[in-house]
Amino acid sequence: APAEAAETAATPVALKVAAENNVDISQVKGSGPGGRVTKEDVVSYILRNAPAPSAPVAASGDAAPVPNPTPEVASTPAPAAPARQSAPAPAAPAPQAPPTTDSGRQLPAGQMPEIVEVERREERQRMSRRRQTIARRLVEAQQTAAMLTTFNEIDMGAVMAVRKKHKDSFKERHGIGLGFMSFFTKAVVGALKNFPLLNAEIQGDEVVIKHYYDIGMAVGTDQGLVVPVLRDADRKSFAEIERGIAELAGRARDGKLTLAELQGGSFSITNGGIYGSLMSTPILNTPQVGILGMHKIMERPVVVNGEIVVRPMMYVALTYDHRIVDGSDAVRFLVHIKDLVEDPEALMLAS
């Protein structure tokens, strides 16, 4: 039967209707050009072969009384022969079944399932100039740098405790909230001072090491990602960092950043945690050779002093350019950030 169905010429709609109603297409006589089976041919076939309602076999047997019935006679298979003659066998061919809907509900005799044409839409949009620039720079980064990412995790309990302790007095004194970004910015600057190759860039066959700390802060906007630069982060207090980040982010979302605010930068930080990201591999903001990825804080079971405790943990990721940064330096750089963030009181005193 499959070979015959494959050789039967039929329209796509006819094949679809036949498949939906369990009809062997090879049993349908085509009325189209060259004997091609059409949708109407399949519908006619289904209607012709739909079984008509008939009285139950048991009822017709009751109409003719049997003389002297006995339990032995009633239990014998003798009545099976008339049943086979008056009704199709249980293994009747599938085409005899009445039409059904997709959900399996049987339709009344003569009614066919409705064929619903699903619209397959496409929409073409022109990329904005900003999106084109982002796309070009991301591809350039992938093609230019030898990017590699290393991971670690930070216990955020101490930072959260410090924020809770000082948030009211900090805001009252400085007019700005104490967030996580200032702690991470300070930690990054401290780590860069110990691992200067992560605060460098490649120019031709030379490595240019920068002794200033201009930190790019990735900000998501409706038009795409931008990375305004917080200049001289090493010279700023916690309040100045928080205020500077808030101002840059506000201008970024309002589309009011200047070209100067987007240029330069010696290292970048991106925080996917504000969107719920648990872990990611950031892409370098070339020609920079390092970028730190922050993520969502989640309570997880960890082992502390031999005991399992629940702590607020954050995964952090460092993507670096392996052309000038060795893996050992990258790992130690990220561990240094972890150590500084997990001791926020010392970090604040040092600042």
pLDDT digits (tens, 9 = 90+) for 265-301: 999 999 999 999 999 999 999 999 999 999 999 999 9
- Has residue 75 got a pLDDT over 50? no
Examine the pLDDT at 95 and tell me if it is beyond 60.
Answer: no
Query: Considering only 108-112, 170-174, 337-341, which range has the smallest mean pLDDT?
Result: 108-112
Least confident of 119-133, 155-169, 198-212, 232-246: 119-133
Average pLDDT, the chain: 85
Single out the catalytic residue among 174, 234, 322, 343.
322
Pairing mode, if any, of strands 307-321 and 147-155?
Answer: antiparallel
Percent of the chain predicted with pLDDT > 90: 59
33-67 burial: b if 16+ Cβ within 10 Å, else e: eeeebbbebbbebbeeebeeeeeeeeeeeeeeeee
User: Is the pLDDT at 181 greater than 90, yes or no?
Assistant: yes
Is the omega angle on the peptide bond into residue 287 within 30 degrees of 0, that is, cis?
yes
Q: How far is CA 188 from CA 45, 129, 342, in A?
A: 76, 32, 13
Q: How confident is the model at residue 101 (pLDDT cuts 50, 70, 90)?
A: low
- Our answer to whether residue 326 is catalytic in this structure is yes
pLDDT higher than 50, residue 73: no
Evaluate if residue 156 carries a pLDDT over 90.
yes
Select from 325, 327, 300 the least CA-distant residue to 313: 300
Q: Using an 8 Å Cβ cutoff, are 280 and 317 in contact?
A: yes
**pTM for this structure?**
0.66
DSSP assigned state of 30:
P
If one counts every other C-beta atom within 10 angstroms of the C-beta of residue 167, the result is 13
Domain ranges of the chain: 2-96, 129-350
pLDDT of residue 301: 97
pLDDT at 230: 98
Measured distance CA(303)–CA(310) in Å, rounded: 9
Give yes or no: 166 in active site: no
Which residue, 157, 186, 137, is CA-closest to 292? 186
CATH class of 2-96: few secondary structures
Q: Which band of pLDDT confidence, cut at 50, 70 and 90, is reported for residue 343? A: very high
Residue 55: helix, strand or coil by DSSP?
A: coil
Cα distances (Å, whole numbers) of residue 327 to 99, 146, 332: 67, 12, 9
pLDDT in the model for residue 14: 85
Architecture of the domain spanning 129-350: 2-Layer Sandwich (3.30)
Q: Counting Cβ atoms within 10 Å, is residue 224 exposed (0-12), middle (13-18) or buried (19+)?
A: middle
Q: Could you tell me which residues come within 8 angstroms of residue 73 by beta carbon, excluding any fewer than 6 positions away?
A: 66
Q: What is the DSSP letter of 307?
A: E
Contact status, residue 98 vs residue 107, Cβ threshold 8 Å = yes
Report CA-CA distances (Å) from 229 to 29, 269, 316.
Answer: 75, 10, 21
Confidence of residue 96 (pLDDT cuts 50, 70, 90): low
- Average the pLDDT over 48-72 and give the result: 52
Residue 5 has pLDDT above 60, yes or no: no
What's the length of the chain?
351
